[in-house]
Amino acid sequence: MALSIKRAYRPLQRRLNRRTGNGEKDPAHERGVEDANRRFLLYGVLPLWVVPGMADWWMHKRTRIEDTSGARESAVHALMMTEVGIPVTLGLLARINPRVLSVMGGAAIAHGATALYDVHLAVQEREVKPIEQHIHSFLEVLPLAALAFTACLHPDQVRSLLRGGPEPDAWKLQPKKHPLSAGYLTGLAAVIGTGVILPYAEEMLRCLRSHSTAKHVAG
C-alpha cells in the first residue's frame, strides 16, 4: 500500500518541483502555488474559523459565560485566536520557509494545548453541551489543516526544515514575491474584524461588566 501511495504522489511531486531550463523554479508555477495557498486560506481556513468561531461565541452567550467562568475563560479564547491568527497571517503575507513552517507547527501545538485547558476550565464552571464540543472539534483541527496544506504545497521547504534549514534565507521572514492587493487585505480584515474580533471583544466586555457589577453588589 505504501508503494502505491508513493507512485500516486510522484506526478504531484514532479509538478511541484518543476524547474526552468536553467535549473530555477518556474515563476508561473511559483505564482500558482502562492495563489492556491491564498485561496485556501481565504475561502477554506477563514470560513472554517469564522463560522464555527461565531457559533462558539453564541454558545458561550447562551450559557451566560459572564456569570460563570467569566473573563478568565474569555481571555483563553483570545489567546487561542492569537495562536491561530499568527500562522494564518504568515501564510498570507510571508514566503513559506523553515521559519514560517516552524511557527505554524509551534502555534498548532500551542493551540491544541490551550484548547484542552479551555475545555477543562469551562466544564467546571458552566454547561458545555455536545453541540459546543462538536464546534470545538472544527476549531481545534483548523491549525493542523492549514499546516498540512501548506506543507503539501511546499515540500522543498519541508525537506529544508528537516535538514535544519541550511540555506542562507531559511530562517528569515520575507514578504511574498507577489503580495496581496490592498483590496484583498481590506476584505480580509473586514471578515476577521466582523466575525471574530468584535464578537469576542463583546464577550470580554460583557464578562468584565458582570464581574464589576457583582463586586459592587457584594460590597
Q: What's the domain count of the chain?
A: 1
- Quick check: is 7 in a domain? no
Cα–Cα distances in Å, from 68 out to 14, 71, 120, 123, 141? 55, 9, 14, 10, 27
- Quick check: is 86 in a domain? yes
- Please give the average pLDDT of every successive group of 10 residues along the chain, which has 219 residues: 50 51 58 71 75 93 92 95 90 90 95 94 90 90 86 89 89 86 82 92 94 61
- Quick check: is 1 in a domain? no
**Whole domain around residue 169: which residue ranges?**
29-218
- Quick check: is 22 in a domain? no
Instruction: Say if residues 75 and 135 touch (Cβ distance below 8 Å).
Output: no
What is the reported pTM?
Answer: 0.78
Q: How far apart are CA 206 and CA 100, in angstroms?
A: 36
- Quick check: is 21 in a domain? no
Q: How far apart are CA 95 and CA 167, in angstroms?
A: 14
- Quick check: is 6 in a domain? no
